[in-house]
Chain A
Amino acid sequence: MVMPVKESHIVLGCFVSRLLVSFVFPSLQHQLDQSVEFSTPMTSFKSIQEGIYMFTKGLPTYNGGVVHHSPILIWMLSILPSQLFITVLYAAIDAYIAFQILQISKHLKYCNLPNYIFGILYVLNPLVLLSCVSKSSIIFTNVLITTALLHVLQGNIVFASMAIAAAGYLSLYPILLLVPLLGMIASWKRKILSIITTIITLQILLFISYEINGSSWDFIDSTYGKILTFSKVFPNIGLWWYFFVEMFDEFIPFFKSVFNLIVLVFIVPFTIRFNQQPLFAFILCLGWIILTKPYPTLGDAGFFLSLLPFFNSIFGYLRYPLLSTLLILHAVILSPIFYHLWIDLGSGNSNFFYAITLVYALGIASIIADLTWAMLRNEYDEGKPNYNVKVTQI
């Protein structure tokens, strides 16, 4: 694939900026990996390192402990000879995401912005940059999601399905994105092909993991089991942790299943309601997952926000963009401060940080709701914006 000069500059810029930040601030990785916003027990680099250590020493990696990453990921990273290679790999993957975002933007029908803008917005997104520098494993899921998106737009369904299966394999909930992905495929035959490919890929991946993990299935419980049952209670910016710290024992299983249902609940409705805008449905589903999943990070949010400029043509319909922006800014700025007040200084308590997670959830939710409204309004206007018409819902 030949890239125009501007795009190759962006991709290279992405790669170099990540490397540069990693090398100029060598302690930043550790700091970010300790921060509650960019690292969770499920995605932290410390946990990957522990997994690599145990894997290479031949210790039982998934027998309890702190490793919750997929065996294949740990195996692949354990092949890399040094930390330097891992740093380069992370930068390269982020650059590859930027490249794929540029490619996806070429498939947009209504777009009045030059393509490179999308790439630049991704590269300059501080949340994405910091998430990459923290070496959170969420980047592997993200790259697979963009791969799936790009290939389904290019018509390569088998590859797209494989990518979404792999994303689901790495962090479970992205497997739900198969539903909006199917919405992007026109014929039923190809839809079935996509489902079958996904299932086969998942089985192969799980079987390889089984082999890598010394013929043991215990990794299933340590990875997916721990996510589904939310058994590693650790503060994060999601809605789950404080709820389950404070919940009464008897109701915990019930509410865990309810919270898991909430993750599922809007996937199919979004796909059906926006079947004419399948890319929009896909990204809306992605937003819904990062809002409701048990272990979200700001890296997820950064990725989701970087995909939003695709719909800049409907931004005019947004009812409260200022509110959404302020909510997100408020959460991003205050969460490290309030966390510090609670954990390090002891001058604030857990409610401070809890309040911020609520603000964050409201911010993401207001973006999703506002975008939904904007798209509905856009559908009402049939693609020709008429901002003067007063429209309501009944």
Chain B
Amino acid sequence: MFKRNATCLIFTTLLLFSRICYGQESNYSIYKNDNTEQLEEFRNSNTTSEVESSSSTVITASEDGSFPEGIQEPPLDPSITIQEGLSYPFREKLYVKPLPNNDLLTSFQFKMNSEEFAPSISSLNYGQYNHFTVFPKAIESVLHRTDTRQLHLRFTRGFWDAETWGRLPHDGFKSGGNGVELWAIIEAESKDNAYSKWKTLANSLSGLFCASINFIDSSKTTYPVTSFQPDNDQGLPVFANSKNQLYLIRAALANEPICTENLTPFLKLLPTKGKSGISTFLDGHKVFDSSWHSLSVDVITNCDVNQDKCKYETDAVVDMVTHVPYSLARNKNPIPKPLPAEQLRCDTNKPYDAFQCFPLPESTETEFDLSQIFGKTIKGSSMMSDIPSHICAIITSKWDVSIKVNGELFGTDDNCFELDGMDEYDLYLASSDTSDVTTLNEEVPLHVSRSLTGYGQDHGGLRTVFQNPTPMPITAIYFESLPWYMRLYLSSLKLESIDSSNLQLEDVIDSVYYNSAIDHKRPSHLEYTITIPANTTLAISCQFDKALLHFADYPPDANHGFEIESAVITVIKPFKYQIRTETLLLSLSTPDFSMPYNVIIITSTVIGLIYGTLYNLLVKKVVRVEQADKLIEQQAGLKKKLVAVVLKLKSKVVDRIKQKKVINFYI
């Protein structure tokens, strides 16, 4: 039933999506002459007015209207100009930040706002207004159908090495735990109603982003109480009627692989579609070849309550950490193979000959173009907004950065560059000491790591270590959602002071929220506020039982274990910061999957044996053996004769068969 629903939803979403793509592409018609009539038939009426308004734009393009081809080839023709003052609420920025150990953080940020709209007017009434210029209509229709006021989606893979790399980009607010994470604020009459809208939202996004978000069900869904709160709650009005409430709902899928099929729909949401502007850099092969990457989409509804005006604001971010020498080497040798002996960098202080080579650490001198890492150059600015695309490098004095415009290098004082033409751009980075990076002075407020304890497959423990390296106390909210097959014993929550300070659990933890799990229906949901004193490390542990599941509830590879989603720690004092722990792999005990029939048969036999024995004992008469024999003989009078007849017949038949056999044998 549910599966069919999900497929249906995905199908409708895809349909919607294809429609939306057309709607989106019509944005490109600003590059065309006044051929709106031709496009009319596959354009949504709401975008028509916008196109008409821009139809006077001076644009050259193919006259035959084959505009999909026109899009694939970005307009590099210098004769193309854009009308002064034409701009859409679209911004894009690219930050490049070298990290220690020759890693490089690149952060692509896209902001897309919708036009203002009045929430009191139904958005199905297309004639009334329009608000899709650069804002992805695919998202709007999903938001509208599910009454979602805020939507936050994260696709993250990899391990952020905070001790080396420092703070997470955007203070951790734009990256999720490993896998997919989704939370939303949904307007609904009741919690049940909110949940059904949430299911619709998850299924729609599943189709939109080609991810298994449709696997979100009630056993993975939580309603966070103190975590994930929106920043500005006055900007979140209730649209329909005052009886409705806003519900914050969250779920995460830790075992979801993040791949290029998630990036493609992500790029389609952008008005530039990865064809111009900084998004041209985004190539699936390169993004997912990085050691850490995170895709995020945040849509918020920002309302001016007094004027009955709202608009959607979308932040789409791609962050990734690339190991530069690895990427460069990959360009030289797409198939990794051993280096020839003369290219090996050997430590000459150690034994070193034709057979031995202790490798030196990586060189601290570097020189590369960003296009060497991404395999492409930037094809012009986005040409969408009044603010041109932006590229910034966050570097120290030992680094040099300059922009390459059509092969010529230019530099600036603040290491930021504006791409304001339709040229070919690239960024050139060079350093004499790559270990000198800006992150060295950054202070990570908190390191948190979580691990499983215990060795058996029936019981276990969770241990979370909080390390505060700063000289001030840190207050944070700990959020954890554990699957129901981990039966958590909250009474076993215990604090272990690692620094031998005599802290008690009550000293560090206050305001605990706990909602225990229900089998198959609800996860355990634990939230607490924790204050870690300055320069202190402490561990909080908790015991749990592992359930044995019904044999059909195990995934195909049951002995691999179950991925447990990461815990989310939101630092609230002295500043805001968010971190997530690693995911865990929980191994449960497994039954023998080949045994169903055997078990049913054997257990039933044992029960039958016991029942039969006792039944016979209770109902039968107790007599002496001689009496019993006599009784049997008396009862057997008629029976005996019958048996005799049967035996006689039988012997005759048997004899015949034997005779026949003999005859046959002789023939």
Binding site for B on A (CB under 8 A): 34, 36, 41, 46, 49-50, 52-54, 59, 63-66, 231-235, 239, 241-249, 262, 265-266, 269-270, 273, 291, 342-344, 346, 349-351, 354, 358, 361-362, 365, 368-369, 372-373, 376-377, 379-380, 389-394
Contact = CB atoms under 8 A, between A and B. Distances in A.
A380 B622 CA distance: 7
Interface stretch (B221-229, B404-412, B571-579, B611-619): B611-619
B603 A262 contact: no
Most-contacted residue by chain B among A36, A239, A343 (CB, 10 A)? A343
Given A245-B551, A249-B552, A350-B590, A365 B596 contact: no
Given A247-B596, A368-B614, A242 B607 contact: no
Interface stretch (B11-19, B95-103, B240-248, B514-522): B514-522
Interface stretch (B314-322, B496-504, B541-549, B636-644): B541-549
A377 B591 CA distance: 43
A64 B517 contact: yes
Nearest to A233: B548
B591 A246 contact: yes
Contacts, number: 163
A246 B623 CA distance: 43
A35 to B, nearest CB: 10
Contact of A247 (B487, B600, B607): B600
Q: In terms of DSSP, what is the predominant structure of the interface of chain A?
A: helix
A63 B516 contact: yes
Contact of A53 (B490, B517, B626): B490
Contacts of A344: 455-457
B599 interface: yes
8 contacts: A65-B487, A273-B618, A343-B589, A350-B589, A358-B602, A365-B614, A392-B623, A394-B623
B90 to A, nearest CB: 47
A379 B622 contact: yes
B443 interface: no
Contact of A235 (B458, B603, B617, B632): B458
Contacts of B596: 246-248
Contacts of B548: 233-235, 241, 245
A50 B489 contact: yes
A163 B456 CA distance: 39
A25 B543 CA distance: 21
A242 B603 contact: yes
A392 B592 contact: no
A66 B484 CA distance: 10
A362 B522 CA distance: 38
B623 A373 contact: no
Nearest to B596: A246
Nearest to B623: A394
B652 interface: no
Contacts of A372: 614, 617-618
Given A50-B491, A248-B596, A391 B622 contact: yes
A34 B459 contact: yes
Given A247-B600, A351-B592, 4 more contacts: A235-B458, A247-B596, A343-B457, A369-B613
A158 to B, nearest CB: 31
Nearest to A362: B606
A266 B619 CA distance: 12
A133 to B, nearest CB: 18
B489 A64 contact: no
Contacts of B488: 66
A392 B624 contact: yes
B663 interface: no
Contact of A376 (B519, B599, B622): B622
B382 to A, nearest CB: 51
B259 to A, nearest CB: 32
B624 A262 contact: no
Interface string B618-632: 101111111010011
B550 interface: yes
Given A54-B490, A246-B596, A361 B610 contact: yes
Contacts of A273: 618
A349 B599 CA distance: 14
Nearest to B559: A346
B167 to A, nearest CB: 36
A127 B63 CA distance: 93
Interface string B575-607: 000000000000001111001100110110011
B545 to A, nearest CB: 7
A343 B458 contact: yes
A391 B622 CA distance: 7
A246 B589 contact: no
Nearest to B593: A246
B494 to A, nearest CB: 12
A239 B622 contact: no
Contact of B625 (A235, A346, A368, A391): A391
Contact of B610 (A342, A349, A369, A373): A369
Contacts of A65: 487, 516-518
Contact of B603 (A63, A234, A243): A243
A53 B543 CA distance: 14
A243 B600 contact: yes
Contacts of A52: 491
Contacts of A66: 487-489, 516, 545
Contacts of A46: 489, 491-492, 543, 545
Contacts of B589: 235, 342-343, 350
A383 to B, nearest CB: 14
Nearest to B493: A53
Contact of A393 (B516, B610, B621): B621
